[in-house]
């Protein structure tokens, strides 16, 4: 079974990266660095939220109600339109109170401003949710999705030593993001994108 990071990375080819970079007004290399940190972080946050039965059911309901995996088949149309205000709320829901700290850390690690990273997160959130919806429909429902989420988070932790994911999602709630760890997370996944 393809894990969710692999499924998302297949969508983010050079053309998609160029389009996202253009919309952000950013260099493709900076955008790529930010994506390589943001996608595993969003997926790990989704996994953490779904690790409790109520969170898993809320995720399944949201995917069935609001997210159609077929959006991945028409990604250029989504990117041309740009994210909506409801798309922006996906990162809020997944990261909660850690979103601002995550965006600052990703920005410092990639050279993008926090505002630019926030726009990127609004773009990536629906892509990650569409990939999760596709995973759920093609791989045995919610159980298959949860397995994929766990596999994806495990790969991200191995790439980064687990430190950034733990500090952002399991930490003491102080909101501090270790920039070196965030850079390491992106670098550990280099090559999975593009």
pLDDT at 138 over 50: yes
pLDDT at 56: 87
Give 171's contacts (C-beta < 8 A, 6+ positions apart): none
Its pTM stands at: 0.81
Q: Model confidence over 162-172: pLDDT tens digits?
A: 444 444 444 44
Q: What is the rounded distance in angstroms from the CA atom of residue 186 to the CA atom of residue 72?
A: 23
What's the pLDDT band for 176 if we cut at 50, 70, 90?
Answer: very low
Give 44's contacts (C-beta < 8 A, 6+ positions apart): 152, 153, 156, 157, 165, 169
Pull the structure tokens for residue 74.
Answer: 């028409």
């Amino acid at each position: 079974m393809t894990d969710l990071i692999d499924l998302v990375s297949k969508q983010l080819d050079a053309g998609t990266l160029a389009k996202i970079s253009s919309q952000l007004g950013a260099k493709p290399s900076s955008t790529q660095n930010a994506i390589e940190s943001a996608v595993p972080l969003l997926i790990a946050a989704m996994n953490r939220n779904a690790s409790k039965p109520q969170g898993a059911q809320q995720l399944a309901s949201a995917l069935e109600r609001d997210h159609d995996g077929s959006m991945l088949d028409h990604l250029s149309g989504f990117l041309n339109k740009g994210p909506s205000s409801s798309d922006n709320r996906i990162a809020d829901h997944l990261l909660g109170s850690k979103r601002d700290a995550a965006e600052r850390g990703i920005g410092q690690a990639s050279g993008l401003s926090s505002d630019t990273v926030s726009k990127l997160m609004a773009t990536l959130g629906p892509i990650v949710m569409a990939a999760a919806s596709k995973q759920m429909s093609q791989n045995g429902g919610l159980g298959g999705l949860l397995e994929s989420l766990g596999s994806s988070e495990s790969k991200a932790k191995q790439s980064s030593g687990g430190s950034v994911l733990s500090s952002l999602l399991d930490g003491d709630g102080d909101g501090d993001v270790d920039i070196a760890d965030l850079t390491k997370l992106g670098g550990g996944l280099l090559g999975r994108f593009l």
